[in-house]
Chain A
Amino acid sequence: MWGRFLRQRLLQLIPVLIGVSFIVFLTMHLTPGDPIEHMLGQAGRITQEQIDELRAHYGLDRPLIVQYGLFVGNAVRGEFGPSYSHHGRTVRSVVAARLPATLELTVFAFVIAIVFAIPAGVIASLRPHGLFDRLATVGALLGISMPGFWLGIVLMIIFGLQRHWLPISGRIDLALVPDYVTGIHTLDALLTANGPAFWSALKHLALPGVAMAAPMAAMVMRMVRSSMIGVLAQDYVQFARAKGLPETTVVGKHALRNALIPTVNLVALQTGLLLSGNMIIETVFQFPGLGKLAVDAIAAADYPLVQAVVLIYAVSYVLLNLVADALHAALDPRVQIA
């Protein structure tokens, strides 16, 4: 049953992915600015032949549609050719080197947001208009009204510069980099039982993680609160109490599960926004991940690299929605998964 569900959903993703890849490809190619000139900008005097040779080398002399076909064929295999701006390296290797950092930061921010937002939303819903609810509501409004880059900078000023509690840039103290296992520093440090490295990596994640998590936590908190308020007024909650269940079971089992159903899709949507937040927060905190890589690649007109990163983000976003749908179906027996 689940196999069929996933297969069906995956098939539905194909047109979306074709659309995304086509737009990515087209924008990159229809925009002015010749990557070859860009690459050779500092190389002094170059003959037209050399330029043509490079064009041929990168396949830039072929018809657009052929280039797109090649692009998709290669992209499926994870090949995006050589990077224009990281000389002598393939896009794949450049991306692979940065992916773990972004993964680490994004997962960290996701966990902060969820761990904070769900309990806060539940507690707020138990006493609507109570003190906690009012504080949480105001906090959430601030969270969604604050630009992430500014929150990042304010956190830097307060916790990094005025109090020297937390580092304001980088992933880890470079003297403490743990042995390579996965490339994810916190995980590697745990796997190699390297306490100082773990602590350093965690401290470097704290400020960017919080800055990234804030808007998502705010949105999810509001959603959990309002759906919990709706669910708590339902007869089945009262019936659960009438059965003699303790309030923790009534709220934590009967109410929360129902309240999470509408929340799951919002979480997926917000995680997508978290991904785009990568670029800004990684830029603010000089965090060497994919987002920073994308910003730098755009500045350097490194088409293949930009294409690869945009596609990675798009595919993760699409997969996130798939996970959300599956989770939705798992939580709500009324959803037909077949």
Chain B
Amino acid sequence: MLKLLLGNRVAAVAGLVVVAFVMLAILAPILAPYDPNEQHPEAIRAAPFWQADGESRFLLGSDSLGRDLLSRIMYGARISILLGVVVVLLTLLVGTGLGMLAGYFRGAFDAVMSRIVDTLLAFPFLIFALAIMAATGPNLVALVLALAFKGWVDFYRVARADVLAAREADYVTAARGVGASTAHILFSEILPNIVPPLIVLAALRMAIIIIAEASLSFLGIGVPPSIPAWGTMVADGRADIAGAWWIATFPGLAILALVLAVNLFGEGLRDALDPRMRQ
């Protein structure tokens, strides 16, 4: 009992951390001590406040342009979370839709889809996203498409497999027997049953997308430089790691904290929604 409770408690704490990050992102204009792009030429690479030479004005220190790291990290949460949500929703809708169709109708559509999926799976995602982004330059629409390009495949596979199983299930046969339409069977009978694994997958995909976006931004081809983003901030700090370790370290810690919380929350969800997947 204690162990179950503890497991849930971990997921609950993780959920709270995720909510805290979301609040931080939404309330950044109110909570952040400075404008994220405001430069303080007199305080370049200021150390965090607990360091001997730290400045209490900049709690986590400042970067090479004298911008407040804490404010930038708060604002950085916005783009990470926004892109994560948009990309996951997009891939969830596309992948689930195609997966349900392929699983339910099978035949030629399924065959073509499985070829496409095989091809996409063989694709080195990051390099491809890099190529698209390099061609278009950093812009958010291209970034969303690059991140979504391969991401829908996971939803597709889960949805397809679950629908394949469900269409043989007794409750579907029964619905068909009483003359329900295909649309009714797909959306009212099958969909509710495959939602839990898709929600779990969405949470776990969110973690992956946040890291992928940060990676692209780190390489300078993700979020446009005018928007504060964690990956870009780590890249900015890379040149200063010898003298000002905090510039690259703290934004990365923010990524780690958010992704860890999302992962833990997702796994808690999985345990709660789908007892079969419990280890």
Contacts and interface: CB of A to CB of B under 8 A. Distances in A.
A touches B in complex, CB < 8 A = yes
Nearest to A317: B122
A301 interface: yes
Contact of A20 (B123, B136, B279): B123
Given A20-B122, A284-B238, A147 B211 contact: yes
Interface stretch (B19-27, B33-41, B253-261): B253-261
Contact of B259 (A16, A31, A145): A145
Interface in B227-273: 231, 234-235, 237-238, 241-242, 245, 248-249, 252, 255-256, 259-260, 263-264
The residue in B116, B122, B125, B136 that gathers the most chain A C-beta atoms within 10 A of its C-beta is: B122
Interface string A206-240: 00000000000000000001100100000000000
Given A146-B256, A150-B252, A157-B241, A317 B124 contact: yes
B279 A161 contact: no
Interface residues of B, number: 43
Contacts of A141: 260, 263-264
A295 interface: yes
Contacts of B218: 147, 149, 280
A37 to B, nearest CB: 14
A20 B135 contact: no
Interface stretch (B51-59, B60-68, B126-134): B126-134
A147 B231 contact: yes
Contacts of B279: 225-226, 229
Contact of B252 (A20, A31, A153): A153
Interface string A148-175: 1110011011000100000000000000
A170 to B, nearest CB: 16
Contact of A157 (B211, B249, B259): B249
Contact of B248 (A150, A275, A298): A150
Interface string B127-148: 1101110111000000000000
Interface in A297-318: 298-299, 301, 306, 309-310, 313-314, 317-318
A270 interface: no
A294 interface: yes
A23 B123 contact: yes
B276 interface: no
Contacts of B116: 19
Contacts of A161: 241-242, 245
A82 interface: no
A145 B256 contact: yes
A127 B187 CA distance: 44
Q: Give 9 closest A-B pairs by Cβ, nearest first.
A: A31-B135, A150-B252, A19-B119, A313-B124, A298-B134, A276-B126, A145-B260, A145-B259, A226-B279
14 contacts: A15-B118, A15-B119, A23-B123, A23-B128, A24-B128, A32-B136, A147-B214, A148-B215, A149-B215, A149-B218, A279-B130, A298-B131, A301-B135, A314-B123
Given A19-B118, A28-B135, A295-B130, 15 more contacts: A15-B119, A27-B132, A33-B135, A150-B255, A161-B245, A225-B279, A276-B126, A279-B126, A280-B126, A294-B127, A294-B130, A301-B134, A310-B128, A310-B131, A313-B127
